[in-house]
Amino acid sequence: MDSASLLADLRNAALRRDWNDCQAAASALLAMLEPTTALRLARAEVRKRLPSFARQYLGEAWPQRILDGLEAWPDVLPQRPPIVDHDRPGANNFHSAMEALVDAHGQLLDSNARAEKATDAIAGAIMAEMDAQWGTRFPERWELRHRAARADTIPEDPSVLFEMMNDPDIAVLDRESWMGVAEALEQVV
């Protein structure tokens, strides 16, 4: 499929809020790019969400150090982020986005694997922003979901995620985020 069709698919998926289709189209587009371009775009999307993480975890400098290191030395893999279970909205998603970004940099020879990991980083960063925004407004509901996700013994209540994803502000953020990814990709394909 050509890049114009994939961009149209990504935009249509963003309007429908279809994460599977957004990720499939973004990954296919990222696979078409030169490695440095694809990784630069993924880093930029993750970096956009860094302020939200940094506000919650003022003492944690590792995300900034990893992003700066990947930009300065894209061929040198940094250490993976420290394994931590964060207790604030969006932080675990942001952590996962950082892990996927580091993994994407480790896939310089395999464009499909690199694109998949870069897409995981972008999607994780978008979800982190959505989770942070919603969880800050509804901390009790967020805590319910977070506690269930951490414990194998507590069944996760799908209504909490449904509630978040159907929040009007989150819907706007979701659509705008994926449309922004489409715009960024359009500039480089």
* pLDDT one-digit tens code per residue, 99-156: 999 999 888 779 999 999 999 999 999 999 998 899 889 998 888 777 766 666 555 6
Domain count, the chain: 1
Domain carrying residue 77: 3-188
Instruction: Kindly give the interhelix angle for 35-48 and 62-72, rounded to the nearest 10 degrees.
Output: 160
Reported pTM: 0.90
Q: What residues contact 62, with CB distance under 8 A and at least 6 apart? A: 81, 82
